[in-house]
Amino acid sequence: MAIKSADLTNTKKEDNRNPGTDFDADLLAGISINKSAVERRAATLGTRRSVKKDWQAAWLLRAITCIDLTTLSGDDTPGNVIRLCAKAKQPLRQDLLESLDMQDHQIKVGAVCVYHNLIRTARQALEGTGIPIAAVSTGFPAGQITQAQKLSQIRASVKAGAQEVDIVISRSKVLTGDWKGLYHEVRAFREACGDAHMKTILATGELSTLTKVAKASQVCMMGGADFIKTSTGKEPVNATLPVGLVMTRAIRDFHERTGYQVGFKPAGGIRTTKQALEWLILIKEELGNMWLNGQWLRFGASGLLGDIERQLEHHVTGRYSAAHRHPMA
């Protein structure tokens, strides 16, 4: 059963990273989000398109290549990180790949995301695969440490081998409207990251309004963010489609104004194929096909891959399998 699809590998194009811009207070002053309008638009995302059969399988294969396969638990051990990396290298069982005629496409996830102390373990397990290691930093998840400590953590993770650093912003700066302070914080983070790509986590569930989400998104991009990310996954409310709509439109506006493309990472609570498809539809409709790949879109997830594999098995066999048939995902 062949699935016709575009190239699913995450090969990096010529690096054209967002260098950031000068701080623009006038731009921020003009931002105001109509919550009701955003919620009405977001409510249509799962209803206006129907993705079925081979098309759904192709979209789900694409989703796999956009996953930051993540383990951020207090009981993480080198053993379960090694298992996670094995899953990252071969996210689908070989028999499913062969049934889908995708065994030659080298499907793998977008990155593996771990705490700093497990970077070395992940680096050894992923050696030669081209799968980048992302490390959470800057006092993740709360960010309640000093700026000097945050910068030290970033530099240590990059030195240990992290090619991507997921930083958390100071939510207090957003809540108090200290936009220039947030800008300088993010600029310092970007400098500390060096060649490592920086994903700025907004923790949108703690920012109180969609207008603050929109302004924080713009400030992070002004500061040089390579990605803006919804959540740590540790807040009571994480990635939601209304928040995603606001953030992707901020990305689109920044791209139109500056010419620089910034990636988007929804994270936290994305566990099912239905949710993944809704997010893919959001990206396609709001940002376009240019963002529908692992270079510019990432799902921060741990359980999503297992459900995708289960749905693809149903596509091949017509039967749903038990979750335990799909190893660590």
Give CA–CA dist 265/251, Å, rounded.
12
Catalytic residue among 89, 173, 199, 229: 229
**Residue 40 burial (CB count, 10 A):** 11
Give CA–CA dist 51/129, Å, rounded.
31
108 assigned to active site: no
Number of H helices, E strands in the chain: 13, 8
Q: Residue 141: is the preceding peptide bond cis (ω within 30°)?
A: yes
Q: Where are the beta strands (DSSP E) in 97-176?
A: 111-114, 133-136, 164-168
Give the CB-side neighbour count of residue 158, counting CA atoms within 13 A: 20
Catalytic residue among 89, 199, 215, 265: 265
Type of residue numbered 118: L
Q: Which two tokens stand for residue 217?
A: 């998104």
265 assigned to active site: yes
Pairing of strands 263-265, 299-301: unpaired
Distance of alpha carbon 185 from the chain centroid: 21
**Residue 29 burial (CB count, 10 A):** 10
229 assigned to active site: yes
Catalytic residue among 68, 89, 150, 166: 166
**Residue numbers annotated as active site:** 166, 229, 265
